[in-house]
Amino acid sequence: MSTILDFLGNDHRACDDLFASAETAAAQKDWARARDLFEQFRTALAHHLAMEEELLFPAFENRTGMSAGPTQVMRMEHEQMRSLLQNMASAVEAANHGGYLGLSETLNMLMQQHNLKEENMLYPMSDQVLSGERDDLIRSMQTFS
């Protein structure tokens, strides 16, 4: 069984790939393709954020007693990402080239900083404090929908 860092880190990479493909299509003004890829990206990222909020963060908070710590910051950043996703959806729908690419750049900066914090701090800490329940948690995330 893998670690939380492996499992969720790989999911970051999968989201990043879809994000980059959608951005390329939008840059080329291939709007049909950009809409399709953006929808795939949005679905993948929404699933990732929900998996963390509903499974990982509560497990971490229960185990450490820290509900106002790192997970609270991560939840706030998730909300910022959701709001950018909403605006990107409008931009891609309207074939708004400059609008989409600007939002895309903002989301990318936020997302990369967020992912680094998780991969350098929260996930390794979770692997440590949740060691006893880690395999069950990963199984729950694998079947989460």
Q: What is the binding site for Fe ion (CB under 5 A)?
A: 52, 74, 118
Residue 48: CB minimum distance to Fe ion, A: 6
CA distance 38 to 4: 26
Q: Which of residues 28 and 67 has its CB atom nearest to Fe ion in the complex?
A: 67
CB of 117 to Fe ion, least distance (A): 8
Task: Report d(CA 118, CA 10) in Å as an integer.
Answer: 12
How many C-beta neighbours within 10 Å does residue 19 have? 22
Cβ nearer to Fe ion, comparing 82 with 139: 82
Q: Nearer Cβ to Fe ion, position 36 or 119?
A: 119
DSSP state letter for 65: -
Least distance (Å) from Fe ion to the CB of residue 81?
A: 8
Give percent helix, percent strand, percent coil of the chain, each to the nearest 5.
90, 0, 10
